[in-house]
Structure 1
Amino acid sequence: MSIIKTKNFITDNFLLHSKEAEILYHDYAKPMPIIDYHNHLSAKEIAENKPLKNITEAWLKYDHYKWRGMRANGIEEKYISGEASSEEKFLKWAETVPNTLRNPLFHWTQLELKRYFDIDAILQPSNALNIYNKANAILENKTPAQLLKEMNVEVVCTTDDPTDDLKYHKQIAKGNFFTKVFPTFRPDELFFIGQPKFKSYLEKLERCVNFKIDSYQTLLMAIDKRINFFNENGCKLSDYGISGAFSFVDYTENDVVSIFKKQLNDEALSETDIKKYRSSLLIYLGKKYHEKGWVQQFHLGVIRNNNARLKSLVGADAGCDSIADYPIIEGLSKFLNTLDSTNKLTKTITYNLNPAQNETFATMMGNFNSNGIAGKMQWGAAWWFLDQKDGIEKQINVLSNMGLLSNFIGMLTDSRSFLSIPRHEYFRRILCNIIAEDIKQGLLPNDLTFLGNMVKNICYTNSKKYFNF
């Protein structure tokens, strides 16, 4: 591919197509702090606060978006997740970037290079080594905490297993950090009853709570203990990210006690057994979250680890996951209704990966708003494969038609990289441009002060109030 000659692609008015959009973004959206309420950043790296080794470690090491792009460009796996050097991997990524045009990777790449390293040039083979060296020289003096502060990140919520000791969160809480870092309780492993790894996870949980889990009742006691521990350490959110259909079936307490006993005795469980256990656990957790005043999140509609060869080579999160077409909404409705009927439904966010279900999710969440809480039930931001310009625009438009955009709690990164924070800027620019286009078409009143304050709320204020940070 020939050299891309444009030198200044990320301008001040990138993605802003009118004067109204520029005002909404620069005067209202841009100054707002960032609350990144769902990501997979490392609390350990923030707490230890050591300069990042190089841009490959910071940018490419965990980014399966980039990995997928490189594979699509025919790059050998050794340059993606393999044994190649950091410099070699970066150069292969630079080789891929010119071929990502019209993929969000191109926008994200150039936006991140501009914001963190003040690099205007389009990354490509002809300038890759110079950019690699310049970025590394800057990163030599930048710690994770500094990078978050420079991006005005007020809050980060990591994703944590119930058995995590949270020692790094404690360390951060005691330190002089600009960014507050809170844990998120993600009990996915507790749902894998009937699978080989479930027994070993129970043993891990036993070591964590210091008592034997020999019944369903003691399992719930262990869960209670860990939820209390997370709550004491600033946790305000839970998450659920299991692939497959979201099934919810009727069960009795005796059913679940018996099913768990069968698991402890290494007896085979039926599909119905597994569904009853999972349904019981969902309700128990949901009630505990309500008791603690937490927000519960549900990431639904992914089919994971499709490529067995790649999973065996790289492991989980290798970048071989896809949008799924599982049945979800009927089970979700029954689950939410069960909690709501006893007034135990806490604030809830759902994210769907299948865009064909956008309207389905948006309308389902609107069924359970109550208790005087504005925006209690959130249909969350465009997620994973959908967090690109087209996906974000569709999510905003559907939410506007089916609910109240004004109460939306905005964007998150869902990222493992400290260089992904500009995705908030990307969202904010798209949001401002959508509103400005409506003004131009006479669909919204030309009151930039009122609309600007709405933008500020979506970008920051709504989430700050919603999570009670």
Structure 2
Amino acid sequence: MNVQRLTLHPDRLFPSDPVVRDIARRLYQQIKDLPIVSPHGHTDPSWFADNANWDNATSLLLLPDHYVFRMLYSQGITLEELGIHREDGVAVESDYRKIFQIFAKHYHLFRGTPSRLWLDSVFHDVFGFTKMLCEDTANHYYDSINAQLAKPEFKPRALLERFNIELIATTEGALNDLKHHAALKGSGFETRVITTFRPDDVIDADREDFVRNIAKLAELTGEDTQNWQGYLAALRKRRAVFREHGATATDHGHPTAFTADLTMNDAAALYQRCISGKASATEKELFRGQMLTEMAGMSLEDGMTMQIHPGAHRNHNKVIFDRFGPDKGADIPSATEYVQALKPLLHKYGNEAKLNIILFTLDETTYARELAPLAGHYPALKLGPAWWFHDSPEGMLRFRHQVTETAGFYNTVGFNDDTRAFLSIPARHDVARRIDCRFLAGLVAEHRLTEEEAGELAYELTSGLVKKAYQLK
């Protein structure tokens, strides 16, 4: 058995040039141990409310991680073999050890990917492995991880402390009862684990459950959501409830960045067409655009930071969607236009310095041409970090290279991990810190920044900007 050692090189992700590498090392030493602020993610709040031990390596590390099973599926391994639940109830593999063995046998597929960086860090730093994951070490990994997960120090709240996570935000739909966040009240963790308001379920008229959701919104709020003003009042009430559970931000995962600013009468008439089920595809897109502008107005009222995450062609693989439902790794980046799309919203609210709108993109061609110039001008706009498919060393560098000259550093918002994979959060933030120090070191080496300035920026990119953008104390 020729098993490779698992080592994490201390200079990983730093530049090969020795002069620049030395500067990057010095900058990294200043910020590497700062507390983690995770302002946008998708971890399960029940983990922190219940504080129960996880019981299985496969269900924790593999099944929720679409980065993992997406790659395996691309190489001909079926999702049934990986134990992914089917919508029609057809039996899938339920032997978690066998699933983990499949993953280990194909671990080489992740060479060169950010998933490999994150997973190696988890295996080495969290679980203490010194041999590489492979077919021969699969059972050792599986048994050791399960044994460690049963220990008190692996309870979710204990890991928050171990990982030095100062704050983590989850993301819940507008109709969520927030019971897990409510259960955290009085625990001391209610200010460390907060929610985020994601109203797509009651805004996107393309959803099959949209009309039912509007009825549920009425039940939750006591407002008459069959009329436009009642609907807006109900949304304001739900935002207030989320605020009571710690939310400082909203999140909007629209197909495009399209916005609109209709008259009150036109908006009311459009809403009636949507809740009657008679709206065309064009009208549904117009409604989504109107609601982005409405949400911006509400953010100006209540102070919540607004995140716009457009540009994902969701559920591209219809066969996978029909069998397994949404969020199963078949979402694909698509071209996204911002300058004309955001103009109605920005005409109305873009000059409001008290409004915080964070723009994300999956279309890297817009960085220098559209997003940086917009954020470099409008007081309300900031740029989110390289996201999802571009949450990678090269993706982060492309973002910094294309955005910084026009938008600067201070119109960006640091890093967020946007993950369901809780154990990988320290690794993801470490990658971002190393890449930012690498980029800053290049500017110092070229005498475009002093090293003192770069040190200040390293702190801001790690902690200061994210707290300001998300209004975190």
Instruction: State the TM-score, normalizing by the size of structure 2.
Output: 0.90
Aligned-residue Cα RMSD (Å) equals 2.1
CA contact (8 A) 1:194 1:269 kept: no
1:75 is paired with a residue whose SS is coil
CA contact (8 A) 1:184 1:237 kept: yes
Which residue does the alignment assign to 1:392?
396
Deviation at 1:265, TM superposition (A): 4.1
Deviation at 1:251, TM superposition (A): 2.1
Structure 2 runs not aligned, ≥5 long: 16-20, 85-91
In the alignment of these two chains, the number of paired residues is: 455
Which residue does the alignment assign to 1:100?
110
Which residue does the alignment assign to 2:72?
70
Name which of structure 1's ranges 380-389 and 328-337 shifts more when overlaid on structure 2.
328-337
Equivalent position amino acid for 1:413 in 2: D
Deviation at 1:340, TM superposition (A): 2.7
Over 4 Å off, 4+ runs = none
Which residue does the alignment assign to 1:372?
none
Deviation at 1:201, TM superposition (A): 0.8
Are residues 1:346 and 2:344 paired?
Answer: no
CA contact (8 A) 2:184 2:190 kept: no
Select the residue among 197, 221, 230 that pairs with 2:209: 197
- Partner Cα distance (1:396, 1:297) in 2: 20
Are residues 1:23 and 2:26 paired?
Answer: yes
- Partner Cα distance (1:390, 1:238) in 2: 28
Select the residue among 257, 266, 273 that pairs with 1:255: 266
CA contact (8 A) 2:383 2:413 kept: no
Q: What is the 5 A alignment of 1:127-166?
A: 127-141=137-151, 142-166=154-178
Which residue does the alignment assign to 1:378?
382
Deviation at 1:354, TM superposition (A): 1.4
CA contact (8 A) 2:254 2:288 kept: no
Q: What is the 5 A alignment of 1:115-134?
A: 115-134=125-144
Instruction: State the TM-score, normalizing by the size of structure 1.
Output: 0.91
Deviation at 1:41, TM superposition (A): 0.7
| Deviation readout 1:200-256 (Å, 9 max, x if unpaired) | 11122122113442211111111111111112222110010022x332345221112
Are residues 1:291 and 2:295 paired?
Answer: no
- Partner Cα distance (1:387, 1:320) in 2: 17
Select the residue among 314, 325, 338 that pairs with 2:324: 314
| Deviation readout 1:180-218 (Å, 9 max, x if unpaired) | 011111111222226542111112212211344221111
Which residue does the alignment assign to 1:373?
none
- Partner Cα distance (2:401, 2:194) in 1: 31
Cα separation, partners in 2 of 1:451 and 1:262, compared to 1, 3 Å:
closer
Deviation at 1:261, TM superposition (A): 2.6
Structure 1 runs not aligned, ≥5 long: 370-375
| Deviation readout 1:71-129 (Å, 9 max, x if unpaired) | 12322322322423221111111122112211222212111212211223221112121
Deviation at 1:275, TM superposition (A): 4.0
CA contact (8 A) 1:3 1:124 kept: no
Cα separation, partners in 2 of 1:254 and 1:276, compared to 1, 3 Å:
farther
User: Percent identity over the alignment?
Assistant: 25
Cα separation, partners in 2 of 1:186 and 1:390, compared to 1, 3 Å:
same
CA contact (8 A) 2:313 2:333 kept: yes
Cα separation, partners in 2 of 1:161 and 1:112, compared to 1, 3 Å:
same
- Partner Cα distance (1:270, 1:253) in 2: 20
- Partner Cα distance (1:345, 1:303) in 2: 32
CA contact (8 A) 1:104 1:389 kept: yes
CA contact (8 A) 1:40 1:416 kept: yes
Q: What is the 5 A alignment of 1:303-452?
A: 303-340=313-350, 343=352, 346-359=355-368, 360-369=370-379, 377-406=381-410, 408-421=412-425, 422-445=427-450, 447=451, 449-452=452-455
Which residue does the alignment assign to 1:13?
11
